[in-house]
Amino acid sequence: MEETSTIDIKSINEKIEKESAFVDLLTFEMNKVIVGQKHMVERLLIGLLGQGHILLEGVPGLAKTLAINTLSKAIDASFSRIQFTPDLLPADVIGTLIYNIKENDFSIKKGPIFANFVLADEINRAPAKVQSALLEAMQEKQVTIGDETFILEKPFLVMATQNPVEQEGTYPLPEAQVDRFMLKTIIDYPKLDEEQQIVRANLKGTYDKVNPVVSPKQILSAQEAVRDVYMDEKIEKYILDIVFATRYPEKYNLPDLKPLISFGASPRGSINLATAAKCYAFIKRRGYVIPEDVRAVVHDVLRHRIGITYEAEAENVTSEDIIDKIVNVIEVP
């Protein structure tokens, strides 16, 4: 029995090694334009392979728009950018019915959501109506205009950005919508030497051309291959322990966290943590998940799924501090 399972792992490993060959090509193309920001590039790939969406938070000017634009060029896919503003209407995102005088009938004008990669810039600037229009597209991968429903083309990835600095005129995202994002990634400033490279490249004004190195078909095949990445029952248990510790910290010898958490991660958190760990293993060209894969993605998957109480805010405790404590206490398989 032991032997057959080893053979299985070996064949899965070989398959994943073959399927994930494009990851290096893709990363190489993106690195032509994006200096540093390895974490962001990796998270974009995890979102893409895990068929999830990404919420990026960072101050303006950290190449968030550039990153997703570059990714769409390297994949030979369509890209659209929606700048969210308080006066935006759902029709500006999904499209609308337009009356055609010649034909005496309504025709459909599709909105910018009909693309493989959609950048929702400053998503917290749009009112709830627009956010809910985006929600259907993100969750159901379909859009309804009038009485017609359109299935969105695959791959489909929404990357939303929000600016943590300016909060005037913003609408906080409802919890139900935040939960729809597979990952919430915090982007930091580049290192000094990286910024030097960025300044030099900009002053020169010459940029390397990004070539399409992967087809959307290859991405769809990779999304299927990610499902085959082997996850041991012990790793599953490890993931569930982490998620359950956000709900019932007292059962995991963490009673001091109980007054700091208003609500824990939902089952969507468990699903996304398992999926993201598989995607991370795939990016590292491995056919099986190890505990380090879970630890690598746990902050991005759970930081927006844990509600903190006023008490936690008063003590300056963030959801990340809570995740750190949980990960340090839960036994690694």
DSSP sequence for 73-87: HHTT--EEEEE--TT
Over the stretch 263-297, which tens digit does the pLDDT of each residue have? 889 899 999 999 999 999 999 888 889 999 999 99
Q: Look at the chain and report how many structural domains it folds into.
A: 2
- Residue 202 belongs to a domain: no
Domain-terminating residue out of 171, 196, 221: 196
Beta strand 95-100 with 105-110: parallel, antiparallel or unpaired? antiparallel
If asked whether residues 150 and 281 sit together in one domain, one would say no
Tell me which residue range forms the domain holding 145: 23-196
16-60 per-position pLDDT tens digit: 777 777 888 888 888 878 877 778 888 888 998 998 899 988 877
Model's pTM, two decimal places? 0.86
How many residues are present in the chain? 333
Same domain, 243 and 178: no
87-102 burial: b if 16+ Cβ within 10 Å, else e: ebebebbbbbeeeeee
Distance CA 42, CA 47 (A): 9
47 and 168: one domain? Answer: yes
At residue 317, the 3 state secondary structure works out as coil
Give the C-alpha distances (Å, rounded to integers) separating 244 from 32, 105, 294, 332. Answer: 41, 55, 15, 15
CA atoms of 16 and 280, how far apart (whole Å): 12
User: Where residue 34 sits, what CATH number does that domain have?
Assistant: 3.40.50.300
Shared-domain flag, residues 187 and 291: no
Let me know whether 33 and 171 are in one domain.
Answer: yes
Mark whether 191 and 84 lie in a shared domain.
Answer: yes
CA distance 71 to 332: 34
Per residue in 90-126, pLDDT (tens digit) is 888 888 888 878 777 787 888 899 988 888 888 888 8
| 206 domain residue, yes or no | no
Structure tokens at 217: 């078909």
Q: Are residues 190 and 311 in the same domain?
A: no
